[in-house]
């Protein structure tokens, strides 16, 4: 589906963006254009050393900020598909700088929606987070707002051939600023800080996240929030997997942090369908979209009151499984240079 098409990735120099670009160039060699839209010229330069326009003629690097709607419109000319990965994501930074987070995650998303509606874009898939479900921190609240904007954009598309959908998943293994590279750095000190011994998190590899976004680009009907069925891990097991010789020091939960993460709330259950590999949270009251999905083989509604929580998840990673996944995914795809 992506061959002969033009794709733009906002936040394209991040961990997801680099993995997405790598996979798309490998899987779709006839892609027409792949535009990396981001603010940081240094990161674009470093990325261009790996993905250059001589080896990959369709690659483009476009400096811009999603806060700048005019720049977005210029970048979106001739673009068929958009993957929206740009966001301010650090929970403590968002708590301290709330409106900066709002300007990027909420106003920036609306800028993108408006620009896509005006430039003949056909598909938009936005990346969400488990923190957007029943948020208790500002980052999660801005992502919930962003999700609502993207879903509601389908209401104003008119007769345009455009679909807006969302992919929501948990912590990406080895992504910048996440707990795994943090623990790997702290291991050198002999002490790993543990916020809460009961803490759990969902886990997904960059590769699985990329494959899910590509699947959504091809399969989404518009308005869905897709949630993958992925395993959880206990923070104490992760610490054991990374630094078995290290002391664990309890430091307490940070502002805006949950003990367990949730991706589907009890309130969402009435609008959630089980698609097999993924769940789909549908817009409330959209009976036409629900009926379309229910015609597909194997699709069924989840029970009323169902929740999808990292603490209650039936699928937990063991210490050994975590070590194997870290060896496979963090070393190979966690940093730009590691996968060359």
In a domain, 249, yes or no: no
Answer for the pair 272, 282: CB distance below 8 angstroms, yes or no. Answer: yes
Residue 50's CB is within 10 A of a number of other CB atoms, namely: 15
Q: Please state, in angstroms and rounded to a whole number, the distance separating the CA atoms of residues 140 and 134.
A: 8
84 part of a folded domain: yes
Res. 117 pLDDT band, cuts 50 70 90: very high
What average pLDDT does range 217-242 have in this prediction? 96
Full domain range(s) for residue 147:
6-170+203-230+262-309
Secondary structure (DSSP) of 225-277 = EEEE---EEEHHHHHHHH-TTSEEEE--PPTT--SS-EEE-TGGGGGEEE-SS
Q: What is the pLDDT of residues 202-214, one digit of tens each?
A: 999 999 999 999 9
Domain count, the chain: 1
Is residue 240 domain-resident?
A: no
Beta strands 123-129 and 163-169: pairing type? parallel
Q: Is 131 a catalytic residue?
A: yes
Q: Per the domain annotation, does 1 fall within a domain?
A: no
Each residue's pLDDT tens digit, 25-36: 999 989 999 999
Which two three-digit tokens encode residue 175? 């992504």
Report the pLDDT averaged over residues 172-193.
89
Is 77 a domain residue?
Answer: yes
pTM over 0.85: yes
**Per the structure block, which two tokens stand in for 122?**
């056909």
**Which pLDDT value is given to residue 334?**
38
pLDDT tops 70 at residue 241: yes
Examine residue 185 and state whether it is found in any structural domain, yes or no: no
- CATH code (residue 79): 3.40.50.720
pLDDT of residue 331: 56
- The single residue of 18, 43, 89, 131 carrying the catalytic annotation is 131
| 111-to-59, 71, 72, 149, 221 alpha-carbon distances in Å | 24, 10, 8, 10, 22
In a domain, 221, yes or no: yes
- φ, ψ of residue 264 to 5 degrees: the values are -130, 120
Answer whether residue 335 shows pLDDT above 90. Answer: no
Domain assignment present for 242: no
Backbone angles phi, psi at 168, to 5 degrees: -115, 120
């Amino acid at each position: 589906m992506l061959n002969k098409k033009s794709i733009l990735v906002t936040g394209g120099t991040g961990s997801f963006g680099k993995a997405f670009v790598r996979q798309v160039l490998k899987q779709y060699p006839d892609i027409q254009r792949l535009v990396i839209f981001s603010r940081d010229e240094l990161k674009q330069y470093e990325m261009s050393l790996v993905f250059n326009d001589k080896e990959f003629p369709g690659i483009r690097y476009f400096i811009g900020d999603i806060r700048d709607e005019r720049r977005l419109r210029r970048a979106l000319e001739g673009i068929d598909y958009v993957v929206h990965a740009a966001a301010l994501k650090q929970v403590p930074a968002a708590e301290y700088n709330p409106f900066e987070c709002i300007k990027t995650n909420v106003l920036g998303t609306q800028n993108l929606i408006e620009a896509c509606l005006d430039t003949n874009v056909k598909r938009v898939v936005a990346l969400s987070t488990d923190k957007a479900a029943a948020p208790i921190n500002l980052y999660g609240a801005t992502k919930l707002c962003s999700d609502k904007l993207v879903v509601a954009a389908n209401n104003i598309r008119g007769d345009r051939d455009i679909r807006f959908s969302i992919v929501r998943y948990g912590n990406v293994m080895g992504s910048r600023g996440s707990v795994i590279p943090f623990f790997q750095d702290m291991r050198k000190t002999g002490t790993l800080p543990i916020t809460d011994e009961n803490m759990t998190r969902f886990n997904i590899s960059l590769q699985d996240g990329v494959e899910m976004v590509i699947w959504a680009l091809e399969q989404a009907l518009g308005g869905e929030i897709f949630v993958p069925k992925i395993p959880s891990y206990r923070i104490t097991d992760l610490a054991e997997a990374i630094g078995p010789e290290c002391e664990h020091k309890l430091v307490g939960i940070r502002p805006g942090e949950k003990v367990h993460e949730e991706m589907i709330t009890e309130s969402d259950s009435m609008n959630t369908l089980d698609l097999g590999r993924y769940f789909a949270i549908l817009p409330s009251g959209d009976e036409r979209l629900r009926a379309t999905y229910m015609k597909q083989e194997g699709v069924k509604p989840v029970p009323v009151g169902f929740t999808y929580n990292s603490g209650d998840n039936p699928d937990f990673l063991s210490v050994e499984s975590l070590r194997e996944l870290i060896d496979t995914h963090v070393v190979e795809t966690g940093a730009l240079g590691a996968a060359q």
